[in-house]
Amino acid sequence: MARMRINCPDCNFDLSVNVGQSIVRDKLVWHRSINCSNCGAVYEEDGNETPEEIRSAIIKENGLWGISLVSVESKTIVYKVLRECLGLSLSDITKLSNNDSIISGTETEVSWLRNKFEDKGISAVIKRLEVKQ
């Protein structure tokens, strides 16, 4: 879980709120908890596609993570997983697959992707790419 600053939706008071991502029923989801100490407003938000400001707050607090494939017998399966999970085009995938870490993101994002690869029999390793600041 990470924290980020927002203004209360009800009274505009400056708040620090909890944000995070989870894997629920094989889907990547995000969540935000708002509890205003000024007006008492309480909100819980969540969804499927993580808003960029929440994703950035998670990366800022927990670091950037990457995924590397250990054993690849079929590039076709790799391409299929990347297209299905991330909606990438074939030319985007070709550019990514030439790097050590094929994709980077939050720890939860790359863990979710690792699970998808392992479901198809492809071993993958995740690692922190930069130290949290």
Residue 24 β-bridge partners: 27
Nearest CA to 109 out of 52, 44, 34, 71 is that of 52
pLDDT of residue 17: 96
pLDDT confidence of residue 98: 54
Domain boundaries in the chain?
A: 2-61, 65-128
Report if pTM > 0.85: yes
Given this model, what pLDDT does residue 118 score?
Answer: 93
User: Tens digit of pLDDT for each residue in 59-108?
Assistant: 999 999 999 998 778 888 988 999 999 988 888 887 775 556 788 999 99
Question: Under CATH, what is the fold of the domain 2-61?
Answer: N-terminal domain of TfIIb (2.20.25)
pLDDT at 131 exceeding the cut of 70: no
- Report pLDDT for 108: 98
The hierarchical CATH code for the domain 65-128 is 3.30.1390
Whether residue 12 has pLDDT greater than 70 = yes
